[in-house]
Chain A
Amino acid sequence: MARKTIKVDYLNRVEGEGAFKVVVRDGAVKSAELRIFEPPRFYEAFLRGRSYMEASDITARICGICPVAYQMSAVHSMEKILGIRLSEPLRELRRLLYCGEWIESHVLHIFMLHAPDFLGYDSAIHMAKDHGDLVKKGLALKKIGNDILNLLGGREIHPINVRVGGFYRTPAKRELAPLAEKLKWARDAALETVRLVAKFDFPDNERDYEFVSLRHPNAYPFNEGRVVSSKGLDIAVEDYDQHFKEIHVEHSTALHSQIVGRGSYFVGPLARYSLNFDKLSPLAQQAAREAGLGKTCNNPFRSITVRAVEVVYACDEALRVIADYAEPDKPYIAAEPRAGIGCAATEAPRGLIYHHYELTADGSIKSARIVPPTAQNQSTIENDLTSFVAGWLDLPDTELQHRCEQAIRNYDPCISCSTHFLHLDMDRG
């Protein structure tokens, strides 16, 4: 087995179009490439010239799974430029909306995309034949995430109720009550999910990652906080561009991100969890401990358990927000447009998402830049493959290939989101 190439031309059970190729020579991994061939979509280009009020609705279209993440990073950027400070109820409602997206997105990945890997099925459809109740539970749990998006976002996919300064319409307290009843069931179902996935058989693969996520003094992060890392980074979001750089690589339409001077890093549930365990609710912490997780987790295969813990947290947090909710005086805080530069990072289900905008005096977007989580994780995914495959070379080819696919799915990659293209300067001599 001196020469070996593991090649998958079309990755299943990920969002979007990607492929990977690992080349082995003389028992050593020579290269590992995650190829993203989803065409670039030029969102940043067509945001230019549009009103600052349109950014949340336009960027929500980038992804059907995590539109809230795009909306949140967009409106928070605009609010910084306009000098808007949200009232507490509006801030809380945005947390609730994000809870809905985490539930929806994490549950989809846990039950439909990732669990089949551990239970030995090709797809959720095959898994459903033997584990019908499990799939039904996943569907019911995901629906509660959709219900939150429906109520606060106006519809399940590409919500339309978020605006700069708050929401177009905010719910009355009584409207949230039925949601609370469903969320109590969901929280119990999420706890059962943690127990279930914790029993899966995890390959013993750990690496020394640089985890990056938001960190806030009072809360597990959704919309606010400083950007911190497990190797000592601790910066304001405004300094993101000084510490993170994007580079173009030949084999991908998505840019790769690097921490200046150190290289690849890791965003997503594992990073969030490992940097913010102390901010989880007591119930979520307890669920994590019972699942055998420590305060940090460096095994990406265990990300399914961490996602399940975050679903417990999202249900718990949603219930807290609903219980404490006081209707805001007005659904949004108005402000006049003005010229300026603003950026914001929030925590998408798949990890930190950074937006940067420049506005002109009339509120038109002069420039826009969006750094989605999957783009940031690309190098780390490739390094995982390079590192892990070396230990799996004795496996039969089909199993080795499956392990590689599973290693990629650990990141719940959202490939359609991650394709944003670099600006090209043509030098024709």
Chain B
Amino acid sequence: MAPPRTIVVGIGNIERGDDGAGRAVARLLRHMLPDSVRIVEQDGEATSLLTTLEGASAAYLIDACVSNAPPGTVHRIDANSAPLPQASSDLSTHGFGLAAAIELGRTLRQLPPRTVVYAIEAESFDAGAPLSESVVPATVIVADRIRSEIEETA
């Protein structure tokens, strides 16, 4: 049997302000996680995302979201137990991509047994802007929480 595989996917566009929050978390985790954890960055297109998850036993997906919570709010969603909140198109800037990938994965029984989504409430998607001040701490918090989860379930 192949060893369990853990994967972290940071989703977004680093050139669109807080849209890059998921990828910023992935970059932080590169310095925090053992080499055995695969860390990738993607734009969130559903089919590529699903292919990336293939064969993983645990997946942590991080994306920016808009749900009218204060900017920097961290949402943790256990994707194995339920679909992303409806209006998932509102939840994620790549709503179709991430939510569709998860539902397609569930239908095809290809979702990793442990699939966790961290969504960070965004403030601005301005082209070329850096992460907002309200979002930067959230990326550190999420990176830390993912590291803890991975250590606890190891």
Contacts and interface: CB of A to CB of B under 8 A. Distances in A.
Our verdict on whether A and B bind, yes or no, reads yes
A64 B45 contact: yes
B108 A146 contact: no
> Would you call the interface of chain B mostly helix, strand, loop, or mixed?
helix
Given A64-B43, A157-B43, A135 B48 contact: no
B48 A146 contact: yes
Interface stretch (A94-102, A122-130, A209-217, A232-240): A122-130
Nearest to A107: B47
Contacts of B47: 108, 112, 138-139, 142
B104 interface: yes
A108 B43 CA distance: 16
Nearest to B110: A136
Q: Which of B47, B48, B110: most chain A CB closer than 10 A?
A: B47
B43 A125 contact: no
B107 interface: yes
B105 to A, nearest CB: 9
Interface in B92-147: 100, 103-104, 107-110
A178 B138 CA distance: 41
Nearest to B107: A128
Contacts of A125: 100, 103-104, 107
A124 to B, nearest CB: 7
Interface residues of A, number: 18
Nearest to A142: B47
A139 B51 contact: yes
A139 B50 contact: yes
Contacts of B50: 139
A224 interface: no
A294 interface: no
B108 A136 contact: yes
Contact of B48 (A128, A136, A138, A156): A156
A128 B110 CA distance: 12
Interface string B26-49: 000000000000000011011110
Contacts of A138: 47
A143 interface: yes
A129 B43 contact: no
Contacts of B104: 124-125, 128, 135
5 contacts: A125-B104, A128-B104, A142-B47, A142-B51, A157-B45
Interface of A: 64, 108, 112, 123-125, 128-129, 132, 135-136, 138-139, 142-143, 146, 156-157
Given A64-B45, A108-B47, 17 more contacts: A112-B47, A125-B104, A128-B107, A128-B108, A129-B107, A132-B107, A135-B104, A135-B108, A136-B108, A136-B110, A139-B50, A139-B51, A142-B47, A142-B51, A146-B51, A157-B43, A157-B45
